[in-house]
Each structure stands twice: as C-alpha cells, then as structure tokens.
Amino acid sequence: MSETTLRPATDLDFADVVLGAVGLVLVAFHHGRTVPSEVLDLAAALPWLCFAHLDADRWPRTPAAYRVVRLPTLLVFSGGEPLMTLDGGQPADRLRHVLEALR
C-alpha cells in the first residue's frame, strides 16, 4: 500500500471517507500535517485494511465527537461504527499484531 491510499479526512467529509467505507477502516487522529510514521508503516504492512488520517489541530470537531483526547490515537471503524481504539504512540509491530487479530 502506498501513501496515496492513506486518505485524508476532515470534519466536512468524515462521513463519506470513513463512515461510508466498506470494510475495516483505521483512522489516525494526529497533530499537524505529518502522518505518524507508525501509521505509514502499518499502511504498508496491512494492505487489506483501509487507512485514513485526520489532523486534529485543524479539524477538532470529529476527534471531540469520538472523545479523542490523546494524539496520536487510532480508531478502527467497521460499518460506520467505532470498533476499537488504540494508542498510536505504540510501536508499529505491536499495533500490527492487534490489527491482524481483526482480520
């Protein structure tokens, strides 16, 4: 999976990008314009999982709606509903093992 398949999301299009997606979607809520390297590593390692990211500094409504208080935070959605919340500050290998169990 390349970075181009890591879709940006905003407060304005979150419903389309994430909630309307088919299958599992991992959303990385982060500070600033730079996507955390752990998320890029996961996107490359897990091609079966859809990825999106949202800059919580620029788009604060969506993280607030999902009670995201610590950044980076990863939320996994299925069928438009949050399935799992993960601390995005963990090593990519640890996150990968947790996500593989969802497959």
What confidence category does residue 14 fall into, taking pLDDT thresholds of 50, 70 and 90? very high
**CA-CA distances (angstroms) from residue 7 to 94, 97, 101?**
23, 22, 23
Who's near 72: CB < 8 A, 6+ residues apart? 28, 29, 30, 31, 36, 38, 39, 87, 88, 89
* Model pTM score: 0.92
User: For the segment 47-94, what is each residue's pLDDT rounded down to a tens digit?
Assistant: 999 999 999 999 999 999 999 999 999 999 999 999 999 999 899 899
Q: How far apart are CA 29 and CA 62, in angstroms?
A: 9
What confidence category does residue 1 fall into, taking pLDDT thresholds of 50, 70 and 90? very low
DSSP characters over 70-96: SSSEEEEEETTEEEEEEETTS-HHHHH
Planar angle of CA 13, 73, 32, nearest 5 degrees? 65
Query: Any idea where the domains of the chain sit in the sequence?
Result: 3-100
CATH of domain 3-100: 3.40.30.10
